[in-house]
Structure 1
Amino acid sequence: VAQSLRRRGFQNRIAYFNHIPFPGPDVFEALPWRAELLLGLMHYDVIGFQTSRDVRNFVASLRRFVPDTRISHLGKSLVVKTAGLSAAIGCYPVSIDFDEFASAGNSATVVTAGAIAQSVGEAKVVLGVDRLDYTKGILERLTAFRVFLQTYKEWQGRVTMLQIVIPSREEIPEYKRLKVDIETLVSEINGEYSTPGWTPIRYFHRSIPRDELLGFYRAAHVALVTPLRDGMNLVAKEFCAAHADNRGVLVLSEFAGAAEELATGALLVNPNDTEAVASSLYYALTMDEAEQEQRMKLMRFTVRTYDVFHWAHSFTQEASMLAPEKPEAILRVAGD
């Protein structure tokens, strides 16, 4: 896009934000047009990524596939020059409106949280919230929960998992099969472990309004956020913001971009290691309130300080500082 605009004489600043993970050079080299893609991105004035790992991967790919790439430091950002092009490269983790999720909510929030609490009784609540996508690790998470029930038999009847799957791209055959696989696995686990007074997994396949979702967050004792790969994952940040009481535990995939910011408070796991996820879930469910409060305060401070407004300001400020003689900036965001 930037290259096409430049050819048409467009002189304004153009910023590009890569919302999804950028692969390492060993993966990126599989693309037959790898150099062309990298040079196309270099027509932007500012290129933003979610994590420092993404920045390292992008720079490593430039060094390997674009000759004579030169890199220097400009504050917290890098300046990359190659083939007569120059761009500032930086890490700008996207975030949420903290106050929106930290607020008391409305009647829907209260009713939802109350209904969940009443329906589960004394049982602890484990929550998963995901868009239907194979990268979210939903099957692996459900398998880990099954391993948890097998390993820690004393928790059977004492914990309920709420799994929300938001419909997405269901006209695509692979996503249809994924939905069937998820529902089949939920049915298998419930069939294996349910008792007349307890169902291990409650499955929701629908979009959830924000105020109702806030009720789910408030009712949950543990959030299982375990994508196989994710640019950021805002569910992790929303869960933290929603817990104004500084209670609750976040079990977070080390492959989510949010892990870089929330590592001080979250229990980080490899979502492919179902036994380790089950073990971390046990630790989360048995964690005392003092440790919960300590961990949650650290994460809420981070999410509050580096909210979506900080992200927007820092990214656009970088574009403004780079070329002040250009009157305006255009932002393009890649990914979903």
Structure 2
Amino acid sequence: MVANRESFVHEYDKNGKIVCKKTIGGVSTTFDTIMRATKGTWVAHGGGSADKETVDKYNRVMVPPGDPKYVLRRVWMTDEEVRGYYEGFSNETLWPLCHIAFVKPKFSERDWQIYKKINKRFAQAVLEEIENEKAVVWIQDYHFALLAKYIKEKRPDVLVAQFWHIPWPTYEIFRVCPWGKEILKGILHNDLVGFHRYYQVDNFLGDIVRELESKVDREEYSVEYKEKKTKVGAFPISVDYERLVKEAENVTKRDITKFITYPYKILAIGVDRVDYTKGIPNRLLAIERFLEKNPNYREKFVYLGIGSPSRTNISTYRSLGEQIVEEIERINKKFSVGNWQPIIYINRPIEHDDLIYLYKNADLCLVTPLDDGMNLVCKEYVATNKGDGALVLSSFIGAAKELTEAFLVNPYDIKGMADSIKEAIETPKEERIARMTKMKELIKDRNIYRWTAKFLLELAKLKK
């Protein structure tokens, strides 16, 4: 498997000792579970301060520490390469291009060249790992649009698949990318390409029809380009439901006075990377509107926002972080009474057990991205909640197609979100339990293992 982020990182602590930490969130958490079961090789960027000190001469290390299950193969980059490949082309070009958040993509020839260079470097690492053996290579996400091409040029016999975790844009948006055709050609070297939803598949196929001379079959969802056939499908990702349920059962008591120091009756939470696609400023405005229209909830309602800093070397993200803090200060100043304030913001990741405890006991979880491929926070909340919570969910994300018992909102509609917060709070407990029960049953059935099996079984059908 290939992913930009490694599952375990080695760092020097303040005393100069090497410590190994499990990376949190996104692809890394999801696929660590899968890799432990399959005992394969994970190829990723080695970005930890002590990563080079812990690998063998082949840049490999066995993980997890103490109970090794699979190989982690690290790929190295200079700071300049990280800026061009990761911060630049991946997150200032492809990320805004693929998300409808009205942030203009940056098109830099220099970043594009570095992106290609790093994709080639990862391809070389993959080829070294598989040597002359038969292999299946599973590529994760938008950091590697050209990786399948570079692998197939050397090993056309290897089965290669890619899952694109973020949305795919319509042609009216995609056509502005100067390297759009090269990106599509690169992805079409895969034997199988997966997205979360069929509207994302339709966007991808539509862009191919408009950009490349190819044969697109919309009935079987396949593309034939230059005598190479690629299958395309929708595979909605999920979470490890049983593991999350056990974690919630085991977390019986946590001291959350370190977060909230005053009494409250209604706890709403939000858990996000600090990213402009997550709709955090609009969510704050909705909370403000809710308290304006419903003064009876003042001194009773509290929103605890957990915002993990992200991509802080990019100016857009730094500005967003500053905007969020300013909005929270303004709203708190407007409504605060004595020690009570409506919004508490934790601008860092928190301990895992604390997060599970908050999920379990929160009355509401607000998940309101402007756009998102799937979003797993909402599924984690449903899996771990004690059963009578309410999920306020953006209708513009992949998960909304499954979690229809949530209180669905338009994240641009401030008044509508405020009204939905009130509705979620005031919905009778019996109805909230019924809604949550249906969502729990769905996630239990459509879990991460079913997702993995469905994708790999589809890939197995293509094996020659």
Q: Under a length normalisation based on structure 2, what TM-score does the superposition of the two structures give?
A: 0.65
Contact 1:62/1:69 (8 A) holds in 2? no
Q: Which residue number in structure 1 is paired with residue 313 of structure 2?
A: 171
Q: Which residue number in structure 1 is paired with residue 3 of structure 2?
A: none
Q: Which residue number in structure 2 is paired with residue 48 of structure 1?
A: 194
**Whole-angstrom CA distance in 2 between matches of 1:197 and 1:205:** 20
- Cα gap change, 1:8/1:118 in structure 2, threshold over 3 Å: closer, same or farther? closer
Alpha-carbon distance, 1:36 to partner: 2.4
Q: Which residue number in structure 2 is paired with residue 317 of structure 1?
A: 457
What pairs with 1:83-162 in structure 2 (closer than 5 Å)?
83-105=226-248, 110-112=253-255, 115=257, 121-162=263-304
Equivalent residue for 1:23, pick from 145, 169, 178: 169
Contact 2:194/2:232 (8 A) holds in 1? yes
**Whole-angstrom CA distance in 2 between matches of 1:35 and 1:117:** 49
Q: Which residue number in structure 2 is paired with residue 293 of structure 1?
A: 433
- Cα gap change, 1:122/1:183 in structure 2, threshold over 3 Å: closer, same or farther? closer
Letter in 2 for 1:232: M
What pairs with 1:1-336 in structure 2 (closer than 5 Å)?
1-71=147-217, 73-74=219-220, 78-105=221-248, 110-112=253-255, 115=257, 121-243=263-385, 245-263=386-404, 265-323=405-463, 325=464
Contact 2:259/2:344 (8 A) holds in 1? no
Contact 1:95/1:307 (8 A) holds in 2? yes
Letter in 1 for 2:392: V
**Whole-angstrom CA distance in 2 between matches of 1:96 and 1:317:** 19
Contact 1:105/1:214 (8 A) holds in 2? yes
Alpha-carbon distance, 1:225 to partner: 0.2
Letter in 1 for 2:402: E
Unpaired runs of 5+ in structure 1? 326-336
**Whole-angstrom CA distance in 2 between matches of 1:225 and 1:109:** 24
- Cα gap change, 1:255/1:116 in structure 2, threshold over 3 Å: closer, same or farther? farther
- Cα gap change, 1:8/1:148 in structure 2, threshold over 3 Å: closer, same or farther? same
Letter in 2 for 1:193: F
Alpha-carbon distance, 1:10 to partner: 3.5
Alpha-carbon distance, 1:210 to partner: 1.9
SS of the aligned residue for 2:304 comes to strand
Q: Which has the higher contact order (CA 8 A, sep 6+)?
A: 1
- Cα gap change, 1:21/1:118 in structure 2, threshold over 3 Å: closer, same or farther? closer
Letter in 2 for 1:322: L
Letter in 2 for 1:30: V
**Whole-angstrom CA distance in 2 between matches of 1:269 and 1:106:** 30
Letter in 2 for 1:210: H
Q: Under a length normalisation based on structure 1, what TM-score does the superposition of the two structures give?
A: 0.89
Alpha-carbon distance, 1:206 to partner: 1.2
Contact 1:128/1:164 (8 A) holds in 2? yes
Contact 2:264/2:302 (8 A) holds in 1? no
Deviations 1:254-275 (A, max 9, x none): 1111111112x11111111111
- Cα gap change, 1:112/1:63 in structure 2, threshold over 3 Å: closer, same or farther? farther
Contact 2:208/2:214 (8 A) holds in 1? no
Letter in 2 for 1:231: G
**Whole-angstrom CA distance in 1 between matches of 2:249 and 2:353:** 7
Q: Percent identity?
A: 33
- Cα gap change, 1:259/1:137 in structure 2, threshold over 3 Å: closer, same or farther? same
**Whole-angstrom CA distance in 2 between matches of 1:160 and 1:321:** 51
Alignment: residue pair count: 318
Alpha-carbon distance, 1:106 to partner: 7.4
Q: Which runs of 4+ in 1 moved over 3 A?
A: 104-109, 115-122
SS of the aligned residue for 1:110 comes to coil
- Cα gap change, 1:169/1:33 in structure 2, threshold over 3 Å: closer, same or farther? closer
Deviations 1:10-60 (A, max 9, x none): 311100000111011111111122222212211100000011111111111
Contact 1:117/1:219 (8 A) holds in 2? no
Unpaired runs of 5+ in structure 2? 1-146
**Whole-angstrom CA distance in 2 between matches of 1:296 and 1:116:** 28
